Amino acid sequence: MKLKPEDLERISALTLAHYNERAGDFFEGTRDHDVSQNIAALLEHIEGEPPYTILDFGCGPGRDLKTFSDLGHTAIGLDGAAQFVEMARAYSGCEAWLQDFHKLDLPHERFDGVFANASLFHVAAQELPRVLRDLHATLKPGGVLFSSNPRGRNEEGWNRGRYGAYHDLAAWRSHVSGAGFVELTHYYRPPGLPQEQQPWLASVWRKPAPGAANHSPDALSTMEQDSSVSKKWEAMQLNDPVGTLDRAFADLAFNSKEIVMGLHWDPPEEGVTADAADLDALCVLFDAQGRALETVYPSRTRNANGSVIHTGDSQTGASEWDDESIFAFLDALPEAVAALAFVVVSTTGRAFSEVRGARCHLSDRFTEHAWVRLELTSLDGHAPHCVAALRRGPAGWEISAAADMVNDELMAELQSLVTRGKISANQ
């Protein structure tokens, strides 16, 4: 749902009021936090000789602003909370600007670096592209953006009096690269812990100078890897949708413990009178004999023990990222479950080729590595389609075709199941 201007005003007002009312406590609670890793990540990627001109975006009471100044750089703070701006000026001795993140007024190509530590997640997702373009414009060519945000599953809303948007790596990359930045590196925090215990996603980005290469070596490696998987999948789908898949997937070394299936589509273009499409993501759990045990779908959002979870129904395709997701925690699956099939259904009967932007993926929840990417618009007809399957093998889970498990009879049952669920939900 698109936020209206009055919604954005309310988000800013209430979030800033929360911080203004607790400014002193916030400073005492965060002044000793060690973010030296983040400061170093920004400074080591800025080219040219110091001192640098740094914008501390979301400077709060001025802790990091003072650190940059003490290191000899010209640091300017920016925050939307008036109490924070006053405290930052007093504590750091630096200039600090009072600006709402949703209403920025920044100078053109002023800064060598932008340090956005624990701040950009307060920007509503629909406004993020514009805010990132503003930060891009205020950086000098070759300048560097650092950001660190609590990561999530691309949800947003209120959390203890503050509004936040919590992106995963794939969505964050899409937003920042879409604003013209090139990724330099990313990591999770705090350091030294397993990734599931690292709630913060930190990333470093460059505004390319004119004539510079478009991608960093790391980014190229990631894109080439994803591209090879995608091309392999597309070739298998087109050339041999049954016999070749098991053999071809064997060299992908599947090693994921937690999987997410993401489904996305776009609403009709403005002014187009066609009925909106409605796609649904499903996961079918099978036993060793190929019998369906349970189905997780929008009207039944989790299996019996909660090891497979659906994020809920979308009927509009209005999200900028995945409209529906299914999370499968493989180690937590009951022993009786020998296979999972991930299926897409066109609930309204629209042909997939007629659904704008329809696509899906099967990815590792932690690394964001996409094992499968499929452009659904390449499919003919509207019949339910099995994207991929996971099978429990002697050495662990394997990714494979599902043709022997998901037959026409089961597909018809799934179509009917989803349709009945929609009718019941709307009564």
Task: Please give the single-letter amino acid code of residue 106.
Answer: L
Q: Is 311's pLDDT higher than 60?
A: yes
Q: Is the dihedral of CA 169, 170, 172, 176 positive or negative?
A: positive
Please give the model's pTM, rounded to 2 decimal places. 0.54
Task: Quote the tokens at residue 423.
Answer: 């009718």
What mean pLDDT value characterizes the chain?
Answer: 84
In this structure, the number of other CB atoms found within 10 A of the CB of residue 236 comes to 20
pLDDT, tens digit, 9 for 90 and up, residues 371-384: 888 899 888 888 89
Collect all residues with Cβ–Cβ distance below 8 Å to 296 and sequence separation of at least 6. 282, 283, 284, 285, 302, 303, 308, 309, 310, 326
Least confident of 11-20, 38-47, 208-217, 307-316: 208-217
For 129-139, the pLDDT digits (tens) are 999 999 999 99
Check residue 224 and give its pLDDT.
Answer: 39
Question: Does the pLDDT value for residue 337 go beyond 50?
Answer: yes
Residue 44 reports pLDDT greater than 50: yes
d(CA 291, CA 248): 25
Q: Cα 412 from chain centroid?
A: 32
